[in-house]
Structure 1
Amino acid sequence: MDADALDARWRAHLESWAIPARILDGAAADPWAHHPHRFGVRSDLAVAVSDRGPTMTRVAELLPGSLLDVGAGTGASSLPLRAQLTSLVAVDTSAAMLAELTVRADKLGVAVDTVEGRWPDVAPAVPSADVAVAAHVVYNVPDLADFLRALNTHARHRVVLELTHRHPMSWLGPLWEHFHSLKRPVRPIAEDCVALAAALGFAVQVDEREAPLERFSTIDELATSACRRLCLDPSRAPEVADTAMELGMWPVPRDRWVTVWWNV
């Protein structure tokens, strides 16, 4: 398949993850939302532990230098490299996430320029950098070919992506079937992103490892998250916890994290 066909297939697979209106209309909160506090905790841990898995290693190989972090969140993929950054530009759709990143960057003595908006819509306003990184973002990107092309044109030396092997909401499949009789999709998966990047002409290389973090620290945390993702009332958390235990979903197995990278 050529790049256009692979891009269309990626978009179609992502669209299949849409939550039916009959379920979404009953949601007490946005089931797709991400909370800055939870992301901030993970960023703090990444800074404290100085994890050097494949993604950090591939970025650090081209530093000291400038870094463009797209879908930066609160800085988990950039701030651990603070000592090697000559400049940092962080792009994210969430002003709250960027605010949390800025607080952490200030404490660490990292000068950061933030750009609020969706990539690649804001790309014309963003400077190039030695390395461009986008971690745990692509499953939110329907037009992946344009996203990757813009990363490639903004990186002087290397592009690095990190993503889970499967869609990050895949772990919820048994609960969707139990509570809503809804079977969730299987794709897209990391191999689909790799195939598209290769079809675009990038000399893609891939590293993989087990996720360094547990998804949840307690069954109660799982249940609270699952209620929101499943559009269930928060009061049903104990029922969700019991069901997860009955279905053998606790503890949740760690994801496989895939690092996709190429030199420009």
Structure 2
Amino acid sequence: MDAEELSSLWRERLGSWAIPERILKQAPADPWGHNPTRFATRTDRALADPDRGPTMTRLAEALPEGGSLLDVGAGTGASSLPLRDRVGELFAVDSSAAMLDELVLKADKLGVSVTRVKGRWPDAATDVPVCDVAIAAHVIYNVPDAREFLAALDAHTRRRVVLELTHRHPMSWLEPLWEHFHGVSRPVRPIAEDVVALAAAMGYGVRVEEREAPLERFSTLEELAASACHRICLDPARAEEVGNTAMELGMWPVPRDRWVTIWWDHRE
């Protein structure tokens, strides 16, 4: 298939992850929302114990000393601030003002110059200059138009584009609980190979590296239960029931994800 066909297929497959309206109506909170505090903790961990995996390696080797780094879906900076010793200017793009606030606070303490851009990529691309290197970590599964997203990343990068994502949709681990509590089966696709196929069809010299995730998804069963209630639209008061069900279904401890690093060097 060509890039247009693969892009359409990506949109269709991603759309199949929509939560049924009858379930969404009873959700106590936005099931797709993210907690800035949890993200900030993850960034603190990344700063204290820098990851030596392929994503950071490919970023560091392409980023010149004092270079410019574009972080799309930046969150609180877990994928960019660990490169503080090399970054001259960080352009952080995120749709969450709270996430960007946390990132800026951490960057100020580290002496990293940040330009914050609130918005969704690629809509926010007009507010960002061409940078040396771009990173988009754990964001592509939120992007319906993956072709436009990738094209804008490449157009705003003079050296290298790096993506990091889970091999399967990051909510795939919840499949047994969706089935148990709602009688709903979740999709299998899209997966990382679909991003690789699309980027290759767009003419990029794609390279791929895969590994086990460096972090456990949850440190306690209680943490799993609270997250699951949020994601599958259940009242938080049912957390103990959810935790017990997860144990009965053999979901604890949750196996580590497979993380995939996709990268290519920009060509004029």
Equivalent residue for 1:87? Answer: 89
Equivalent residue for 2:162? Answer: 160
Which amino acid is the alignment partner of residue 137 of structure 2?
A
* C-alpha distance in 1 between matches for 2:236 and 2:141: 26
| Equivalent runs, 1:7-26 vs 2, <5 Å | 7-26=7-26
Q: Give CA deviations for 1:122-145 in whole Å, capped at 9, x if unaligned.
A: 101111110011000000000000
TM-score computed with the length of structure 2 as normaliser: 0.98
Q: 1:90 is paired with a residue of what secondary structure?
A: strand
Q: Give CA deviations for 1:156-188 in whole Å, capped at 9, x if unaligned.
A: 000000000000000000000000000000000
Equivalent residue for 2:137? Answer: 135
Which amino acid is the alignment partner of residue 237 of structure 2?
S
Equivalent residue for 1:69? Answer: 71
Equivalent residue for 2:225? Answer: 223
Determine what percentage of the aligned residue pairs are the same residue: 71
| Equivalent runs, 1:103-142 vs 2, <5 Å | 103-142=105-144
Q: Which runs of 5+ in 2 are unaligned?
A: none
| Equivalent runs, 1:46-65 vs 2, <5 Å | 46-63=46-63, 64=65, 65=67
Residue 45 of structure 2 is aligned to residue 45 of structure 1: yes
Which amino acid is the alignment partner of residue 56 of structure 1?
M
Report how far residue 215 of structure 1 moved. Answer: 0.4
Q: Which runs of 5+ in 1 are unaligned?
A: none
Which of residues 253, 259, 264 in structure 2 aligns to 1:262?
264
Moved over 4 A (4+): none
| Equivalent runs, 1:153-232 vs 2, <5 Å | 153-232=155-234
Report how far residue 51 of structure 1 moved. Answer: 1.0
* C-alpha distance in 1 between matches for 2:71 and 2:236: 34
Equivalent residue for 1:35? Answer: 35
* C-alpha distance in 2 between matches for 1:215 and 1:58: 24
* C-alpha distance in 2 between matches for 1:88 and 1:78: 8
Equivalent residue for 2:146? Answer: 144
* C-alpha distance in 2 between matches for 1:208 and 1:66: 26
